[in-house]
Amino acid sequence: MASPALGRLNCTVFINSLKFCGRRSFSTGTVRKSEKRNEKLSEYADGETHFGFEKVKEEEKSSKVHKVFEDVAQDYDKMNDCMSFGVHRLWKDIFMQHLSPVPGTSLLDVGGGTGDIAFRFIKYLKNSPSSSNTDLSSHVTISDINNEMLTVGKKRAAEGGIITAAEQVNCSVDWLEADAEKLPLPDSSYNAFTIAFCIRNCTHPEKVLAEAYRVLQPGGRFLCLEFSHVENDTLRWLYDQYSFQIIPIMGQLVAGQWRPYQYLVESIRQFPAQEEFKEMIEAAGFRCVTYENLSFGVVAIHSGFKL
């Protein structure tokens, strides 16, 4: 007969395998990684940045990114399922569990695209026992620079019963077309800020972090879900093969587009690794900054508080 301890162990293994990998520390590699990043940045002259592996002028990047998401908007959700074999849903569920919203939460979801994070927020409130016997109202703003993505999101919200679910939990919803680097929102206006798979597309991630800090109330929570770096050499090699050899072909076959998916895999390699991104979040003023790797570091969830 299985002992309770063994049962507990199995349960832990199961939960960890769901997350594919737990929290990891990269503290010994910090200096090396920062140096590497500085070397990488010094490849660019003033006013230049990267668009995937391409060197572009800073003012060009935003319109190129805009075009990418305009082109992929209609097939965005289908391609996410194909490329990740549906695992992106699990990452986003875990992300929402990290936030664990309660009634009264006022959330700004930046780079909200077609609404995956905001919809999970509403469903989480709906499934939470505390929502049924409270008068507290909640709020979510879904903000994105790209109107095409928001339009797909609004249609999904209407067709998927999200608006009705929001009404049931006394949660107001609004949609905002805005640049994450310059939000047209007052200081200290939200108590939670989420950003999923968006910040690596922004020309100045540090400006996005500064905006996050500005619009959050004291005590507010910042959470970011983003592609990150796989440390294990063998796994990274496998992941690279999949990314560069399969994903653009999949984009061509499923969505009739190669270039946006080539950009996707390249942009992931340009984004700072876990520990370095943590330092950037701290530099923006956030405290108690932590991160957790999922799927061996394919993605990471970074968390911080405005204290």
d(CA 104, CA 187): 18
Nearer residue to ligand SAM within complex by CB, 139 or 200: 200
113 binds ligand SAM (CB under 6 A): yes
Q: Residue from 103, 111, 260, 272 that binds ligand SAM (CB under 6 A)?
A: 111
149 binds ligand SAM (CB under 6 A): yes
Taking the complex as a whole, the smallest distance from the CB of residue 274 to ligand SAM amounts, in Å, to: 18
Is residue 77 marked as binding?
no
Q: Which of 27, 77, 71, 106 is nearest to 289 (CA)?
A: 27
Choose the stretch contacting ligand SAM; rule: CB under 6 A; options: 1-9, 140-148, 280-288, 296-304. 140-148
Which two structure tokens, joined as six digits, stand for 296?
């061996």
The total of other beta-carbon atoms located within 10 Å of residue 191's CB is: 19
# of chain residues touching ligand SAM (CB under 6 A): 20
144 binds ligand SAM (CB under 6 A): yes
Q: Residue from 108, 152, 173, 202 that binds ligand SAM (CB under 6 A)?
A: 202
Q: Which of 280, 298, 273 is nearest to 204 (CA)?
A: 280
Nearer residue to ligand SAM within complex by CB, 74 or 134: 74
Cβ atoms 258, 245 nearer than 8 A = no
Taking the complex as a whole, the smallest distance from the CB of residue 143 to ligand SAM amounts, in Å, to: 7
Rg (CA), the chain: 19
Choose the stretch contacting ligand SAM; rule: CB under 6 A; options: 37-45, 192-200, 214-222, 277-285. 192-200
Question: Phi and psi for 24 in degrees, rounded to 5?
Answer: -135, 155
Sequence-distant (≥ 6) Cβ neighbours of residue 162 within 8 angstroms = 115, 119, 122, 156, 173
Q: Residue from 49, 105, 106, 201 that binds ligand SAM (CB under 6 A)?
A: 201
Is residue 179 marked as binding?
yes
Q: Residue from 65, 79, 125, 281 that binds ligand SAM (CB under 6 A)?
A: 65
DSSP letter string over 21-86? Answer: S-----GGGHHHHHHHHHHHHTTS-TTEEEETTEEEEHHHHHHHHHHHHHHHGGGHHHHHHHHHTT
116 binds ligand SAM (CB under 6 A): yes
d(CA 294, CA 297): 5
Taking the complex as a whole, the smallest distance from the CB of residue 186 to ligand SAM amounts, in Å, to: 18
Burial 273-303 (b: 16+ CB within 10 A, else e): bbbbbbbbbeebbbeebebbbbbbbbbbbbb
Q: Residue from 79, 122, 157, 180 that binds ligand SAM (CB under 6 A)?
A: 180
Binding site for ligand SAM (CB under 6 A): 65, 69, 110-113, 116-117, 144-146, 149, 179-181, 196-198, 201-202
* Residues in the annotated binding site for S-adenosyl-L-methionine: 114, 144, 179-180
